[in-house]
Amino acid sequence: MRPRGPADGPPALVIPGFIANDRTTMELRRALAEAGFRVHPWRQGMNWGAKADTLERLKRAVDLCGAEQPMLVVGWSLGGLYARELARAEPDRVRAVVTLGSPMWGDRRRYTNVWKLYERVAGHPVDDPPIPDREEKPPVPTLALWSRRDGIVGAPSARGTEETRDKAVEVDSTHMGFAVSRKGTRLAVAEIVRFLKEVEGAGR
């Protein structure tokens, strides 16, 4: 559960999806570490859905990373929605946002097949969370990774639109594979590295 990757690597924070935790994202964090990032877990236990203090807890998670430079924030599924709002709240502390199979656009009752479970567990409507939930693009470079094999979140919602992100790339992965599959996580990280090079020139 500790940070992974070279101590002097560019910092990254990984936010797990719904009913997932830092143990669930170990393979994703391992893949980012292999690519040279200093990767931090979110340190918030299980993600039981958005709470009124979710953004404040995310800000504390960034504080705990101790990074002096802006962080790459990678959010899987629901974690991607958190990452987008964190970037709006703290744009100077976020290098870029990457969403993995996140339902960031459209009707979630149409484009996700777990919305009823989400409402039972989280205790609020899927389209009316107790934190900001905006579709427009955050004020930092934003990459949306999606898959037509996702199985949980529909491609149109995870892919988004030109108004909701800078770039969308299809990755051959299942929804769980974005976080737990060796193949899926490496494919995702390759696209992340490529995106950062595109938006920052020669930087990682």
pLDDT in tens, 89-126: 999 999 999 999 999 999 999 999 999 999 999 999 99
| Packed helices 182-200 and 26-34: angle between N→C axes, nearest 10 degrees | 50
* Percent of the chain predicted with pLDDT > 70: 99
Per-residue confidence (pLDDT) for residue 31, from 0 to 100: 98
Token pair recorded at residue 67: 């990074």
DSSP letter for 49, please.
S
Give, rounded to a whole angstrom, the gap between the first and last alpha carbons of the chain: 24
CB 91 within 8 A of CB 138: yes
Q: Report the 3 state secondary structure along 104-155.
A: CCCCHHHHECCHHHHHHHHCCCCCCCCCCCCCCCCCCCEEEEECCCCCCECH
Per-residue confidence (pLDDT) for residue 203, from 0 to 100: 43
The mean per-residue pLDDT over the stretch 46-63 comes to 95
The mean per-residue pLDDT over the stretch 18-32 comes to 97
The mean per-residue pLDDT over the stretch 27-55 comes to 97
pLDDT in tens, 65-96: 988 899 999 999 999 999 999 999 999 999 99
Q: Which amino acid is at 157?
A: S
pLDDT in tens, 165-202: 999 999 999 999 999 999 999 999 999 999 999 999 84
Describe the strand order of the beta sheet including 167-170 as a list of residue ranges: 38-40, 11-15, 71-76, 94-100, 142-146, 167-170
The mean per-residue pLDDT over the stretch 39-59 comes to 96
| DSSP three-state, residue 4 | strand
The mean per-residue pLDDT over the stretch 37-57 comes to 96
pLDDT in tens, 117-173: 999 999 999 999 999 999 999 999 999 999 999 999 999 999 999 999 999 999 999
Is residue 204's pLDDT more than 50? no
